[in-house]
Structure 1
Amino acid sequence: MTTNHIPNRLVKEKSPYLLQHAHNSENWFLWSDEVFDKAKHENKPVLLSIGYS
């Protein structure tokens, strides 16, 4: 697993599971209208992670 010194947007979350991914190199989004609007605007697919801890 690659870690990054610059945290992504998950650093603001309260969930211990999400916080353990706050320094991943991926800039994760939470499930929201924002992510689908962004993907549509940029004509990009949405990749869904359903990880567990």
Structure 2
Amino acid sequence: MELKENSVVEFTAPNGGTFAGFLRELDATHALFDFNHPMAGKTIRFEVKIIGIM
């Protein structure tokens, strides 16, 4: 597999599941991956309609 900076790489977890890491930096001996959610640190706004109260 050829690795390129600013690309998403899929990893296999010990339980068999998968997760993605964003390759931030790459040189001849090291790779730096970011496993934060893409929305981490961003403001998220929701518009909701309340349809009932229990």
TM-score between both structures, scaled by the size of structure 1: 0.20
Query: Of the two structures, which has the highest relative contact order with CA contacts closer than 8 Å and spacing of 6 or more?
Result: 1
TM-score between both structures, scaled by the size of structure 2: 0.20
More strand by share: 2
More helix by share: 1
